Structure 1
Amino acid sequence: VVALSYVAAQRTLTGYNDMGDAKALLESIARSFGYIYGRDRKVRINTISQSPTLTTAGSGIHGFDSLVDFSERMSPLGNADAEECADYCVALFSDLTRKVTMQNLYHDGGFSSMGMSLKAIEQYRKSFEECD
């Protein structure tokens, strides 16, 4: 079993409060069920924290396009798109990952491990200069 999560389960993102809470609950359920079904039935259960991905659902979130741009600038490998996420899911269903369970796996180009990228620093500096 693979469920899609997002870094907002562990971090605070303005305007994403309820969904962040829901994603945190989803990750907790995956761990609990991963134990129960892994032990009893050898079923693997994981979550994937995907990059912000342009979808119909995402288009309804105010400022989502800015979040996509921000994470693209922050991620050393850039955002993962929907097709890349699908490929990652297929890999998780393979026997190559037969001992991977109860994990939240980041598929976000490195975004979740970043502090501040050079691109973001330059963009912020530019915006501050415009304010002065």
Structure 2
Amino acid sequence: KLDAINNWGSVLALSYIASLRTHYGYNDMADAKALLESIARSFGYIYGRERKIRVNTISQSPTLTTAGSGVKGVEGLIDFTNRMSPLGNADADDCANYCLVMFSDLTRKVTMQNLHNDGGFSSMGMSLRAMKTYNKGLDIPADIE
């Protein structure tokens, strides 16, 4: 029997916020990401108890990838999340850096988590900037804006 991961090792999988919220055009993949996060929690428990291996998922900002480019309206989604996020979207390099931190011993007690790397988008309701953009062209009383 070969052990592919040392004790206190780390496993990461990439997810997306659509596992928790509805995003047009992302239906089947959203279901798959929700399942992936559930599997990570289950395996995090099993391998954590047995080998102190931590298992987490990272919900990344929308990133234009080969797979992502097939999602209808992905460019608009990327623009929207970038405008909504206080820090802007995290790009692929930001994600790689976050993964390095998660693989390090600095996070040896972090397991069974879905961690967002999205510039704050996942915690936003509606930014003032987005509300002003949305309200343009609508019949909104002046005292509301």
- Match for 1:103 among 102, 113, 120? 113
Look up the match of 2:92: 82
Which runs of 5 or more residues in structure 2 are unaligned? Answer: 1-10, 140-145
Q: Distance in 2 between matches of 1:48 and 1:62?
A: 23
Q: Which residue in 2 is equivalent to 1:19?
A: 29
Alignment of 1:37-48 (within 5 A): 37-48=47-58
TM-score of the pair, normalised by structure 2: 0.86
Aligned-residue CA RMSD (Å)? 1.0
The answer on 1:115 being equivalent to 2:128 is no
Q: CA deviation at 1:125?
A: 1.7
Aligned to 1:128, the other structure's residue is in SS state coil
- Larger C-alpha radius of gyration, 1 or 2? 2
Structure whose residues are more often helix by fraction? 1
Partner SS state of residue 62, structure 2: coil
TM-score, structure 1 length as denominator? Answer: 0.94
Give the alignment partner of residue 35 of structure 1, picking from 38, 45, 48.
Answer: 45
Secondary structure in structure 2 of the residue aligned to 1:13: coil
The runs of 5 or more residues in structure 1 that have no matched partner are: none
Q: Aligned partners of 2:36 and 2:46: how far apart in 1?
A: 15
Paired-residue identity, % = 74
Detail structure 1 runs of 4+ shifted over 4 Å in the superposition. none
**Residue number in structure 1 paired with 2:7:** none
Q: How many residues align?
A: 129
Q: Distance in 2 between matches of 1:13 and 1:80?
A: 18
1:7 maps onto 2:17 in alignment: yes
Describe the SS at the equivalent of 1:39: helix
Give CA-to-partner distance per residue, 1:56-115, whole Å, 9 cap, x none: 221111100000001001100100000000000000000000000000001001101100
